[in-house]
Amino acid sequence: MPIRSAYGLHIRGLDAVAELPATAYPPARSRTVTVRQRHAPPPEPAPLDADRVVRVLTDGRTLDLHRRRGTATFYGPPLAPDVLAHPYLGPVAVIVNRWAGRETFHAGAFVHAGRAWVVLGDRTAGKSSLLAALAARDVPVLADDIVVLDGGDVLAGPRCVDLREPIPGVDLTTRPVRQDTRLRITLPAVPQRLPLGGWIFLGWGERLALTPVGPAELLARLAARRSLPELPSDPAGLLALAGLPGYDLTRPRDWAVLDATCRLLDAVLAPAEAPR
């Protein structure tokens, strides 16, 4: 039976979720988790500890995660496969990977010259629209919404990007998902993991610019943006992540600038990835 995987997880119980890549064997270093649904009264919320976390989600459902059992149970009305791919797999991936000592971020990632570049920003910063524009230009997209790092590698996410609205000039097939609130782009297959190339922080501005971020500032930003900061992180690991290139990408709120944005990224990131 094919194995579903994403975010460094070997996932059982989600065979109907087409956005999760199917492999013959569990990916290297993957964590096994069985996802279940229960339309029953949930357990009481419990704080994050060594073995279990119970959290109430924004829609009122409850997520119950057992570390030693390797189970993730959603309590509430049944969830359709499209929302299990995204966004509901996100909190499972974050908690299980943070338990495993990996860093996770609310971010996306694309591939340039064989390396993964992580795109961070607020929820309205346009991460998904930039990733969709890159995908339309045949740039591989490694992850959207959640980025998981295993040492110096970025792990692939579900094969989709969800948009709030159509993007002019992005000629990719979409389908309505999440009760018709999003347009989903299906992404092609990518490697399960790729080495991290660097960091890009999105923002809005009057002009298009890609400005370097210094190592000290980059370290502070990464420390502040990591998921579940109540769990410990390896200081040496964070220092290594902050030693890679980082940029602030600002651009006007104008769809017409997407082409120029993609060209700018291609021009600047190529020398950044030159052998050191």
**DSSP codes, 167-234:** -TT----EEEETTTTEEEEEPPP--SEEEEEEEEEEEE-SS-EEEE--HHHHHHHHHHHBS-TTS---
**Mean pLDDT of all residues in 79-102:** 96
Hey, how many other C-beta atoms are within 10 angstroms of the C-beta on 208? 15
**Position 108 pLDDT exceeds 60:** yes
**Bridge partners for 153 per DSSP:** 150, 195
- Amino acid letter for position 266: D
Q: What was the pLDDT predicted at 48?
A: 78
User: Residue 1 has what pLDDT?
Assistant: 63
pLDDT recorded at residue 47: 81
pLDDT of residue 5: 95
Query: What's residue 169's pLDDT?
Result: 85
Are 258 and 133 spatial neighbours (Cβ–Cβ below 8 Å)? yes
Residues facing residue 52 across a β-bridge: 66
Q: What is the token pair recorded at 10?
A: 């070997």
Q: Which tens digit of pLDDT belongs to each residue from 150-193?
A: 999 999 999 999 999 999 988 899 999 999 999 999 999 999 99
Which distant-in-sequence residues (6+ apart) come within 8 Å of 248 by Cβ? 200, 201, 203, 209, 210, 211, 212, 213
- Quick one: pLDDT band at residue 105, thresholds 50, 70, 90? very high
Q: How far apart are CA 102 and CA 213, in angstroms?
A: 23
Which of 82-86, 125-129, 191-195, 266-270 is the least confident region?
A: 266-270
Residues of the chain with CATH 3.40.50: 104-272
User: What confidence tier does 276 reach under pLDDT thresholds 50, 70, 90?
Assistant: very low
pTM beyond 0.85: yes
Each residue of 37-60: pLDDT tens digit?
A: 999 999 998 887 778 999 999 999
- Output the six-digit token pair for 200: 């890009």
Res 23 pLDDT > 90: no
Tokens standing for residue 150: 């295993």
Report the percentage of the chain scoring pLDDT > 90: 88
Query: Does the structure show a pLDDT above 70 at 273?
Result: no
Element (H, E) at 267: helix 258-272
Could you tell me what percent of the chain has a pLDDT over 70?
A: 97
Mean per-residue pLDDT of the chain? 94
Asked whether residue 275 carries a pLDDT value surpassing 80, the answer given is no
Does the structure show a pLDDT above 50 at 274? no
Closest among 11, 58, 18 to 33, alpha carbons compared: 11
Fold type of domain 104-272: Rossmann fold (3.40.50)
- pLDDT tier for residue 272 given thresholds of 50, 70 and 90: low
Distance CA 173, CA 153 (A): 30
